[in-house]
Structure 1
Amino acid sequence: MCGICCSVSLIARPGDTLSEDDANLRRRGPNGSHQFVTCDSNNYSCVFSGHVLHLRGQLTPQPLRNKDGDVFLWNGEVFGGIEVSDTENDTQVMFHHLSLCKDEDDLLAVFSRVQGPWAFIFYQAQHHRLWFGRDFFGRRSLLWKFSQDPQKALCLTSVTNSVSESDLDQWQEVPASGIFRCDLQSCGISKSVSLSLFAWESASGDVVSTEGKMNGEPSRITKDLPPFVTAHKSLLKKLVSPVTLLNGQIPESSAGTSSMVASHKVSLEDLNMLSTEKTRKNTNSLIDVLSNAVRRRTLCLYRDKYDLSSEVERKANVAILFSGGIDSMVLAALADRHVPPEEPIDLLNVAFMMSVSNHQKSSSKINRNGRKPQSAAASPAETLDLLAASAAFDVPDRVTGRAGLEELKAINPSRVWNFVEINVSPEELKEMRRQRISRLIHPLNTVLDDSIGCAVWFASRGVGMLTGDGENKLYASTAKVVLTGIGADEQLAGYSRHRVRFKTSGYEALLEELSLELGRISSRNLGRDDRVIGDHGKEARFPFLDEDVVSFLNSLPVQEKADLSLARGLGEKLLLRLAALDLGLTASSVLPKRAMQFGSRIAKMENRSEKASDKCNRLQTNLTE
């Protein structure tokens, strides 16, 4: 993972430096930073800057430049499609392939093959072309800003640190609609920016829009472009989508696969009843394809070498955003298959402080470790203080997280599972939102962006307490890779809106909703999450958005993935629940969906009358302070 940046001036500025080369970019890439300028006569100049987080192969400084003057910045991971050996660095491999491209078709073919998350900037010196873009799902952040001033016509960056309100308003996320090309020679002559878009298409030639529908023309490509920037879509060149189209088969009847109705209180026995020979084929296939996705994301990283006979405490290289819910539990169970057995796995569980008065009853029963207090350990007054403090962080995700930890210990008691209790006070939330988080979330700005962005930032930081054997100790996760379960709800009908659509209009409406989900996940979630997690010098990896996983799930009829005539905790993400059962998980496999902002209780810390889609005043205030 890296922080990348490029600034384009439509006049030659050989002594230029990059004003956007800031601390936010360096935090994304703490293992090396470089910058240089390339110019072409009096027509244009470009400043390139790269900040590297070393994860695989040899440490490779960026930007890369070859003998022809081509320049490459890469913020991504190659997990398939192009071969990268265990000792190779994927940045070098990608640059090698791009340097061999003779024309546009060759370049588009390279990106059509790549499996994995990416954002890139590639300058072809001979043709005076600047290429840039994000992967099909937009799993890596890339922002752009345009100006009528030819000295700062275009800037691209992973994350910005702008301080003025007027400058902040100019930044937008680069749409994950395809790959963009800017012909710098002609732009330098005209002193204006013109872009060409090579849009994603299915193998059959249908255009995949940013809203996930097949409608012949991508929508919203230029929605946020200023009027002085022109853009057009190439009609001749093809960038092939890495996933198959969503299966649109609609069952003859909207009746569920079971007589159990939505009001039924579910149990593990109910899930067992739904596991049949008919469902087992899909269940096994999902486990296989998701396990391979987790394997690639847990093994493709640099590891310190330890003497196995040494008593040195091993460091965790892989962490999981962990609530104890079905998504994070399945990822943890599969990570256990692939992470070396002597290596700990960090389970990052975040909680925001609740009102202690609302939990006096529970605080009289449990302490911070979830155990009854022992009177000999502290005075009565100290015990009451401890109980009160503990109760303030016993949010729903903390309770299910602890229960999930016990399930994982039962599956593999020899694994060191570091359950990291990350407790956030209102004061720390306010301060870190002001200092860091607001600018990372930008240009997104809703109440939901604030809640999830803050929760993910604190969780992925990984600074909290380890509890066990009656002891608490401070802990800071060393893992550079953070697995997150995003993508499961979008594909397996996990959100409440899916149940509403199904209840009102049946499977056809549900399919319409699901067809939108992955198309808009880049603009709703992934760019923001990449910026937030990357701020800690860590890389977000999304196994549920692996191309093979998405293609498999897209190939299935909707009723084989979810049955929303069944109760919550059973019907949504039904196929994943059946997979969890086969993996040996128990109570967690029938937990109902609970959104992170409610499970961590961050949503209860602010104005409760707010709607998720409202513009968040807290973010705007912090950005302009």
Structure 2
Amino acid sequence: MCGICCVVALSSQHTICDYFSKDLHCRLRRRGPDSSQQLIKTVSEPSYECLFSGHVLHLRGLMTPQPLEDVNNNIFLWNGEIFNGVHVGDSENDTEVMFRHLALCSSEADILSLFSSLRGPWSFIYYQASGHSLWFGRDYFGRRSLLWQLSNVSDGAFCLTSVSVNSESRNQCQEVPASGIFKMDLRDCATTKSLSLTLFPWKYKCTEKNEEEIFIDVLDQVSKDLPNHITVVMNESKLCLSAPVIPLNRTISEASVEHVSSDSSKTSSVVSLETLQGYLAVEHKRKVVHQFIDVLDEAVKRRVLLLRRGEDEGTGQVQGVSPRKAHVAVLFSGGVDSMVIAALADRHVPLEEPIDLLNVAFMTKEQTKRTGTTKNCIRQEMKLDLHRGEENHKDLDAKMGDDLSCFDVPDRITGRAGLKELEALNPSRTWNFVEINVTLKELKEMRRRFINHLIYPLDTVLDDSIGCAIWFASRGEGYINKQGEMKPYKSPAKVVLTGIGADEQLAGYSRHRICFRKCGPEGLNKELEMELGRISSRNLGRDDRIIGDHGKEARFPFIDEDVVSFLNSLPISEKADLTLPRGVGEKLILRLGAKELGLEAASILPKRAVQFGSRIAKLESNNEKAYHTCSRLKLF
């Protein structure tokens, strides 16, 4: 995983460094702490200048500093993981492998064929010297962040970056749409002093729409938020990338329609394991559930095994903890998504290696007000403020008790229950349940210093709540219980698994029930198709920026191409049954899978969003709605 940036200057009024600030360099460096370097390319005829900046988080193969340049002056920046489609040897680095393959491409069609074959998350920037071309884009789901800053015509500058640029220009920074791959002819742009982009869109191998319809739809979608001086055109050859997943199955059985109309208003509110057991007693249902678990298991396996191990062991973070360090962490609430991911990770992570379960809790507004009665909470706040200084831990531990009850939010309670289920599932594993406790004071400070620019260009109250919760959770600084004593702990894991994508594909949100009641299974199908279509702009770019800020890599098993294709192949009735109560009907296939894995308590836990489970929602204002613009994210 890396921080990548390219600045193109088409005007001689400014130097290239005017557009590449010290702040931007520091933000990129946080994403890639293992190697940082930059390269400036100056071309006299036509006149333009490019700065390429690469910052590497080393996870696989040989350490490969970026940017890469070859003998033909081509330059490559890569932020991604190849899990399939192109062979990467155990000792190879995927950046080098991709650059080697790109050098063999002799046409636009070759480049598109290469990127169509990839399986895994990626964003990239590729300068093709022979044609003065700059290629860039994100994977089909947008699992890696890439932003573009589109300056005014008079400035003659263009910037691509993993994180937002300096605040003076932030109002022009947007996420690169995950609609395809873009190409910029720098020779043409330098001559005309204007910015024009050519698009090569994604397309299903078999689709009902004709190509003209697809091109019109995609161009409208990409162009709608761009300033007037930027033009986007479809490539003249009408070339497309092949989508890595199959289209959504919209089949609706007559039986399911009748079931909705007759039973939806009479559904029992009782949630029980017997309901799940009844489904599993049907041979067809059980077979589908096992197929789902198998494909999800493979997705988790790829994400926990493809990383370096071995050379840096023996560096336990806490006295008495296993000498092996954790390489894999899970954003962990104890809900069914994170429980299934943890249980599947347990199958593949070496047994002697701990797995970190990152559980975040925010001190509630009411507790912060009770200064006279919550002494333990206040002492805890003092301790957390000093958490950065390791030399303070022993003194503080001696002065205060271990009562952390002021952080017993819903996700902490379900997280502890989930830990017990996992320990019963595999008592030989070291499960580090990391209690990450956040005070209002620290929340405000870290948002101001780091989080606000990572959430940008998103700006709603919901983005603020989720972004802050994920930032603190993925930082991994908290406490673990050792022999009944709470000890400070910082997770060393560079890979963070997250359950994003389960709710979007399996009707996990409350809005899906509302849609189902109003529009039936047909309406729900459309809603789920829309959810997956917008996940790049609504979730994944933000989450990648947030988690990457700690020099860690977000990995998304539920957004694995094989997992999405499998779920897309099923009719909605196989994935969810919203005539059943909360805690069973939503994400039904996943709950059945959890039951089969032995996670009985987790299998019937109702969905609870992280902003409510961690108690960050309403912490600073009681009058906000999730879709409101968040004033706390406004810097200027």
TM-score, length basis structure 1: 0.91
Q: Secondary structure at the match of 1:169?
A: helix
Matched with 2:157 is 153
Measured in 1, the distance between the counterparts of 2:241 and 2:486 equals: 53
Measured in 2, the distance between the counterparts of 1:477 and 1:207 equals: 48
Measured in 2, the distance between the counterparts of 1:208 and 1:79 equals: 31
1:73 aligns with 2:77: yes
1:294 aligns with 2:300: yes
* CA contact 1:12–1:45 (8 Å) conserved in 2: no
Matched with 2:89 is 85
Matched with 1:485 is 499
Q: How far does the alpha carbon of each residue in 1:289-312 deviate from its partner, in whole angstroms, 9 at most, with x for none?
A: 00000000001111134789x997
Measured in 2, the distance between the counterparts of 1:584 and 1:266 equals: 17
Match of 1:278 among 271, 278, 284: 284
Match of 1:570 among 578, 584, 592: 584
Matched with 1:236 is 238
Matched with 2:457 is 443
Measured in 1, the distance between the counterparts of 2:41 and 2:114 equals: 25
1:484-523 aligned within 5 A = 484-523=498-537
Measured in 2, the distance between the counterparts of 1:399 and 1:97 equals: 49
Measured in 2, the distance between the counterparts of 1:110 and 1:526 equals: 23
Q: Secondary structure at the match of 2:359?
A: strand
Q: Secondary structure at the match of 2:130?
A: coil
Higher helix share: 2
1:201-600 aligned within 5 A = 201-204=203-206, 217-218=217-218, 219-234=220-235, 236-252=238-254, 253-256=256-259, 262-276=267-281, 277-305=283-311, 313-354=323-364, 355-356=366-367, 390-600=404-614
Count of residue pairs the alignment pairs up: 600
Q: How far does the alpha carbon of each residue in 1:449-505 deviate from its partner, in whole angstroms, 9 at most, with x for none?
A: 000000000000000000242101000000000000000000001011111111112
* CA contact 2:263–2:579 (8 Å) conserved in 1: no
Q: What is the CA distance between 1:282 and its match in structure 2?
A: 0.8
* CA contact 1:75–1:140 (8 Å) conserved in 2: yes
Measured in 2, the distance between the counterparts of 1:333 and 1:158 equals: 32
In the alignment, residue 28 of structure 1 is paired with which amino acid? R
Matched with 1:610 is 624
In the alignment, residue 278 of structure 2 is paired with which amino acid? M
Query: Which has the larger displacement, 222-231 or 326-335?
Result: 222-231
Query: Which has the larger displacement, 98-107 or 251-260?
Result: 251-260
* CA contact 1:4–1:157 (8 Å) conserved in 2: yes
Q: What is the CA distance between 1:155 and its match in structure 2?
A: 0.4
1:96 aligns with 2:100: yes
* CA contact 1:76–1:119 (8 Å) conserved in 2: yes
Q: How far does the alpha carbon of each residue in 1:378-433 deviate from its partner, in whole angstroms, 9 at most, with x for none?
A: xxxx9xx968x633211100000000000000000000000000000000000100
Q: How far does the alpha carbon of each residue in 1:536-556 deviate from its partner, in whole angstroms, 9 at most, with x for none?
A: 000000000000000000000
Question: CA, structure 1 residues 63+208, in 2 after alignment: closer, same or farther (shift >3 Å)?
Answer: farther
Matched with 2:194 is 192
Q: What is the CA distance between 1:215 and its match in structure 2?
A: 8.8
Question: CA, structure 1 residues 86+264, in 2 after alignment: closer, same or farther (shift >3 Å)?
Answer: same
Q: How far does the alpha carbon of each residue in 1:350-380 deviate from its partner, in whole angstroms, 9 at most, with x for none?
A: 00002239999xx9xxxx9xxxxxxxxxxxx
Question: CA, structure 1 residues 117+306, in 2 after alignment: closer, same or farther (shift >3 Å)?
Answer: closer
Q: What is the CA distance between 1:606 and its match in structure 2?
A: 2.0
* CA contact 1:12–1:40 (8 Å) conserved in 2: no
Question: CA, structure 1 residues 399+314, in 2 after alignment: closer, same or farther (shift >3 Å)?
Answer: same
Q: How far does the alpha carbon of each residue in 1:517-548 deviate from its partner, in whole angstroms, 9 at most, with x for none?
A: 11100110111110000000000000000000
Query: Which has the larger displacement, 9-18 or 324-333?
Result: 9-18
Question: CA, structure 1 residues 504+333, in 2 after alignment: closer, same or farther (shift >3 Å)?
Answer: same
* CA contact 1:22–1:161 (8 Å) conserved in 2: no
Q: How far does the alpha carbon of each residue in 1:308-353 deviate from its partner, in whole angstroms, 9 at most, with x for none?
A: 9x99711100000000000000000000000010000000000000
Matched with 1:377 is none
Measured in 1, the distance between the counterparts of 2:297 and 2:13 equals: 50
Question: CA, structure 1 residues 307+512, in 2 after alignment: closer, same or farther (shift >3 Å)?
Answer: closer
* CA contact 2:338–2:499 (8 Å) conserved in 1: yes
Measured in 1, the distance between the counterparts of 2:272 and 2:259 equals: 17
Q: Secondary structure at the match of 1:22?
A: helix
Match of 1:57 among 56, 61, 68: 61
RMSD: 2.9
Q: What is the CA distance between 1:259 and its match in structure 2?
A: 7.5
Q: How far does the alpha carbon of each residue in 1:159-213 deviate from its partner, in whole angstroms, 9 at most, with x for none?
A: 024133xx1111000011100000011111111111001111000256799xxx9
Q: Secondary structure at the match of 2:76?
A: strand
Matched with 1:144 is 148
Matched with 1:48 is 52
Q: Secondary structure at the match of 1:615?
A: coil
In the alignment, residue 227 of structure 1 is paired with which amino acid? N
Query: Which has the larger displacement, 556-565 or 234-243?
Result: 234-243
Measured in 2, the distance between the counterparts of 1:215 and 1:288 equals: 36
Query: Which has the larger displacement, 34-43 or 194-203?
Result: 34-43
Query: Which has the larger displacement, 342-351 or 5-14?
Result: 5-14
Measured in 2, the distance between the counterparts of 1:611 and 1:242 equals: 36
* CA contact 1:565–1:571 (8 Å) conserved in 2: yes
Question: CA, structure 1 residues 246+422, in 2 after alignment: closer, same or farther (shift >3 Å)?
Answer: same
Q: Which runs of 5+ in 1 are unaligned?
A: 369-381
Measured in 2, the distance between the counterparts of 1:499 and 1:493 equals: 8
* CA contact 1:12–1:39 (8 Å) conserved in 2: no
Matched with 2:37 is 34
In the alignment, residue 41 of structure 1 is paired with which amino acid? S
Percent sequence identity over aligned pairs: 59
Question: CA, structure 1 residues 191+358, in 2 after alignment: closer, same or farther (shift >3 Å)?
Answer: closer
Measured in 1, the distance between the counterparts of 2:58 and 2:209 equals: 36
